[in-house]
Amino acid sequence: METLPLSPDCPEGLPLGSHPLFATGDLDEARERVARVYCDHRLEVVGRDPLAARHNRLDGQDLSINVLTYGAKAQIAPGPLERFYLFQFPLRGHASIGTRAGGYEIGGGSGGVLNPDDDVSMIWSEHCVQLMLQIDRAALMQAAHAEFGLPQGAALRFDGARGLAGGEGRSFLGLLEFVISETRRGAEPLARGSALGRQLERTLLVGLLQSQLGPQEESARGAYAPRVMRLAEGFMRENLGAPLMIEDIARAAGTSVRTLQAAFRACHGCGPMTVLRDMRLDRAWEELSNPAPETRVTEVATGLGFFHLGRFSEHYRKRFGCAPVATLRAALRS
């Protein structure tokens, strides 16, 4: 299965042909050139085919996209990667991945992520061609915290092969294919200092996390929700008159917008901004029900962030069964 087509317009027949890093049949040179961008490792040819190593690489700021083949069946033993996570997806052939925790196979539409602290050893099949995403450890951790609500200090770990033929996996591969296709027409989609490049990198990190996080991480995020709710609702109550955005609430709760929205839907059946609106309506009712002689509906509404008075009145009537001015008049008469 070749989920990403091999580029027909580059001489090596590999994607990212416009960004070659090296091509060699010498084992020591291949080991040394790969070590420059990854880490020291042991490399051995274990099959009968001659080594024909080729490596194309597109660098960004926090990640790089790589296409690598050794031609021959090869054993690679890098040990712990330490500084980075490494997503691997065979475009051709397959690979066996071994760690102290166990082993798994990738290929035929499945890929996996190597954790920085895993003691890794791999065997790549003959003519295996791997599409790889090398990601700075801190950058992926930060994305997992910001976008998925991974608690600070919690470990981010991946646990084996995952199919990428459908759903979020297919979308993630589609984004990688887009970036690679842009290089074929001469673009530099991950150019350092480029706003588009930074956005593409962030989207790639989110796509990887969506396609690779397993049930354990999902469960951890669910257990995290009650604390998120307490922090978010407390912040909202203390800032009813402030011009809050959903990002402000997520930041105050120490989580991501996505996790915040999921927690509120699970608890209230609606998003956090709807809950904030109802909190503001409740505060408006309290102020109009206990007015000072100078209290006016307009000042109460605008002080709570309702600048469209017609919409404020509509929401107020739906919630309390009367217009805000009726609440104020009744309170002033009593």
- Identify whether residues 75 and 114 lie together within a single domain: yes
Give, as one character, the DSSP assignment of residue 121: E
- Is the same domain home to 235 and 183? no
Distance between CA atoms of residues 135 and 208, nearest Å: 10
What does the DSSP 8-state code read for residue 15? T
Asked if residue 59 and residue 207 are part of one domain, the reply reads: yes
Question: Does 166 lie in the same domain as 64?
Answer: yes
- My answer on whether 116 and 232 are in the same domain is no
Of the three residues 183, 213, 243, the one that is the final residue of a domain is 213
Is the domain of 114 the same as that of 161? yes
Instruction: For residues 237 and 190, state if they share a domain.
Output: no
Q: Residue 73: phi, psi to the nearest 5?
A: -65, 130
In whole angstroms, give the CA distance from residue 98 to residue 114: 10
Neighbours of 132 (CB within 10 A): 20
Give how many domains the chain has, as a whole number. Answer: 2
Q: Give residue 235's domain range.
A: 222-334
Q: pLDDT at position 213, please?
A: 78
In terms of domains, do 95 and 27 share one?
A: yes
Q: List, for the chain, all residue ranges whose pLDDT scores fall below the cut of 50.
A: 1-4, 6-12, 215-220, 223
Tell me the residue type at 290.
N
The DSSP H or E segment spanning 287 is helix 272-289
Q: What is the CATH classification number for the domain harbouring 94?
A: 2.60.120.10
Domain endpoint, select from 213, 232, 263 = 213
* Cβ atoms of 24 and 53 closer than 8 Å: yes
pLDDT digits over 278-299, tens only?
999 999 999 999 999 899 999 9
Do 225 and 253 form a contact (C-beta atoms < 8 A)? no
pTM of the model: 0.66
pLDDT by residue (tens digit) across 13-28? 799 999 999 999 999 9
Q: How confident is the model at residue 4, as a pLDDT?
A: 43
Task: State which of 159, 194, 213 marks the end of a domain.
Answer: 213
Say whether both 275 and 127 belong to one domain.
no
Same domain? For 40 and 112 the reply is yes
299 with 195, same domain: the answer is: no
Contact status, residue 129 vs residue 14, Cβ threshold 8 Å: yes
Measured at the CA of 127, the angle between CA 62 and CA 30, to 5 degrees, comes to 55
Q: Which residues contact 29 (CB under 8 A, 6 or more apart)?
A: 22
Residue 285 in any domain: the answer is yes
Q: Which residues contact 314 (CB under 8 A, 6 or more apart)?
A: none
pLDDT score recorded for residue 145: 79
